[in-house]
């Protein structure tokens, strides 16, 4: 900081355009996402949100989920 209180020797990042290194991979459909990770024994989960508030679940059909 100088005597007037202004910062000196500080590079400005806010409002300055920056080259993004990930853009070519995204545009060429070669980007890697968390959803692309597959590990041995990995499980998946899905959540269902009811359209009925405070509804009572009478049964669950899990046959397809167990396959």
How far is the C-alpha of 64 from the C-alpha of 15, rounded, in Å?
51
Euclidean distance between the first and the last CA atom of the chain, given in angstroms as a whole number: 65
pLDDT tier at 54, thresholds 50, 70, 90 = very high
What is the predicted pLDDT for the residue at 41? 93
Name 25's Cβ contacts closer than 8 Å, sequence gap at least 6: 31, 32
pLDDT, greater one: 9 or 32: 32
Confidence band (pLDDT; 50, 70, 90) for 35? confident
The arithmetic mean of pLDDT across residues 11-40, rounded, is 86
DSSP-derived 3-state class of residue 63? coil
For all residues of the chain together, what is the average pLDDT?
Answer: 83
pTM above 0.75, yes or no: no
């Amino acid at each position: 900081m100088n005597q007037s209180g202004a910062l000196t020797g500080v590079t400005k990042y806010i409002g300055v355009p920056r080259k993004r290194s990930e853009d070519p991979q995204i545009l060429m459909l070669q980007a890697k996402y968390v959803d692309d990770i597959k590990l041995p024994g990995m499980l998946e989960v899905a959540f269902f949100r009811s359209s009925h508030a405070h509804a009572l679940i009478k049964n669950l059909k899990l046959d397809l989920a167990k396959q």
